[in-house]
Amino acid sequence: MKLEEKELDKITVILAEAAEVAEAPFLAFAFKKEDSPQFEVKLVYPQEFQKIFENVVFLSSANPFLGEIYQELESKLGRDYREVFKNIAKVDELEKASRQLRVKGGGICPLVFEKEAVGFLLFLCKEPEMRTLKIVEAFARQIIYYIAFRDAQHRAWEASVKSQAVLEASSDAFFTIDTEGNHVYVSPSIEALTGYTPEEFIRGLISPERYVHPDDLQKVMGFYRDAFAGKKGGTEFRLIRKDGNVVWVSLFSNPVYDTKGRLIGIQGVERDISARKKAEWELEEAKEREKLKTEFMSVISHELRTPVTPIQGYVDVLLSGQLGELNPQQKEALLTIKKQSKRLLDLIDSVLDITRVEYGKPIEIKKEPVLINVLITEIVEGLKYQFQEKDIKLETDLSSEIETICADEAKIARVISNLLGNALKFTPKKGRVGIKTSKVGEEIKIEVWDSGIGLEKENLEKIFDKFFQVDSSYTRAAGGIGMGLAIAKEIVEAHKGKIWAESEGLGKGSRFIFTLPLL
């Protein structure tokens, strides 16, 4: 604790009053040095005796209330206090002053603050009476009360300075409004936000009607009515800056009460949220575009499916020979039409499944017993000629431990066909592709691997995102629109399974693995 000049002036006045009331012609005020066990004489009354105590210090007593300081000195130092004081005080002058003042007694009153002796009053009196001691003690308490008050003020000021520094460093605008509607404090940040200075608000030159957008004014005025009714809350509104630009602002406030619980005002903060608002609008626009795209795809998918179904029907009729015998070229052409129309239907089904997912509807599955090895064999047989065309070896390693699983056969067939189809697309000629099954606990593990172009590590998870394509040019050349793996993921997860990809990098092939519960 440090005493300022104006505080010493106040204590001087108290000493003068104490000397008069206590009839003590001599008083000395000592105060503890900062970070030291010593007491330094700060003031002497009358002031003409001040020079006696120049550079005089008193050692602190072990007793926090000082006690008998002279006896303490003697017991600690093993010699008479007068001998000690010859080294640190002008004892002869003090004795001379005592004779001059005609004093016969004296004493010490400790100044105790927060259970610690921070100083003392040393007094001399004409007669050694308890009355004098009591009076000096009363003035000692008056001094310590004053010191405590000033210390509290100083701490409050320091806290205020720190708070002020925080407020002024913030980009948010802080303000305090009293119950009369007057701004009693506005942080400097208000100017960057509104274009108006804090002084303009404090002088009452700026009203809400001036800076709040007309369409939001009623909402803001309602907010302030609630705030002055003692309600905490927040709102958002458009603020018209001094330069005419419009920004979005968030506004929050808290009521302020005095020590008796009476509302004396509100404290609030305003923040520029224009960037956040813009991001929200862009997100909403993106969602709306996505919704329109999904609806469009749903309509187109249904429209495409409508003519394909009868085409397949007529192709089957022609292939059956019911309308006449076919030559080999005609039969080959019809088989090509049938194969391509089936591919188109599979693509349409994928789009429809994506549409369902976009609307938050899970893919519907109908579980039934499935001979999984038989299903895989049929799929491999159906793709055999396509692999032969690229001179790619298609290998199978099917576990005999597993015969039947419980799943939606058509959906699982689509997953396997998609994985094998991707392996075919992205594996160069004379490459290798394989499919393997194994039993892992109560699950079946199905693995499709290839010696193709491989995947970069950062794409191993993205590959299952809708419409994601690893290499656009290669993908376009190979065919597909990047939905197959997204659909495969939805189907597998609808079966309570998991699917993931593995690759050691570009040019090192890839491995797609999924698991399904056996039951």
Last residue of a domain, one of 336, 359, 382: 359
pLDDT bracket for residue 87 (50, 70, 90): very low
Structure tokens at 15: 């000493």
Same domain, 327 and 445: no
Same domain, 433 and 472: yes
Strand order in the sheet with 393-397: 393-397, 432-440, 443-450, 510-517, 498-502
Same domain, 433 and 458: yes
Q: For residue 498, give the amino acid letter.
A: K
Q: Assign residue 105 the CATH number of its domain.
A: 3.30.450.40
Output Rg (C-alpha) for the chain, integer angstroms.
46
Q: Is the dihedral of CA 414, 420, 423, 428 positive or negative?
A: negative
Range name among 128-137, 158-167, 173-182 with the lowest pLDDT average: 158-167
Range name among 196-210, 303-317, 459-473 with the lowest pLDDT average: 459-473
Range name among 244-248, 268-272, 357-361 with the lowest pLDDT average: 357-361
Same domain, 135 and 205: no
**Is residue 330 pLDDT above 80, yes or no?**
yes
225 vs 71 pLDDT, higher one? 225
Same domain, 229 and 331: no
pLDDT at position 164 is: 63
**Is residue 71 pLDDT above 90, yes or no?**
no
pLDDT at position 94 is: 53
Q: Is 343:473 a contact under the CB 8 Å cutoff?
A: no
24 vs 461 pLDDT, higher one? 461
pTM of the shown model? 0.40
% of the chain at pLDDT higher than 70: 75
pLDDT at position 74 is: 43
Same domain, 134 and 182: no
Which residue range(s) make up the domain with 284? Answer: 279-359
pLDDT at position 387 is: 92
What pLDDT, in 10s, does the model give residues 482-496? 567 888 998 999 999
**Is residue 66 pLDDT above 60, yes or no?**
no
pLDDT at position 163 is: 63
Same domain, 30 and 154: yes
Same domain, 408 and 457: yes
Same domain, 329 and 376: no
Closest of 346, 491, 370 to residue 421, by C-alpha: 346
Same domain, 504 and 395: yes
Last residue of a domain, one of 359, 392, 412: 359
205-222: average pLDDT: 94
- Residues in CB range of 374: below 8 A, 6 or more apart: none
Same domain, 315 and 408: no
Strand ranges (E), 398-476: 404-407, 432-440, 443-450
- Residues in CB range of 462: below 8 A, 6 or more apart: 468
**Is residue 212 pLDDT above 90, yes or no?**
yes
Instruction: Quote the CA–CA distance of 380 and 383 in Å, as a whole number.
Output: 5
Same domain, 290 and 305: yes
What pLDDT, in 10s, does the model give residues 282-325? 888 888 887 787 777 777 767 877 888 888 888 888 988 888 88
* Count of structural domains, the chain: 4
**Is residue 438 pLDDT above 60, yes or no?**
yes
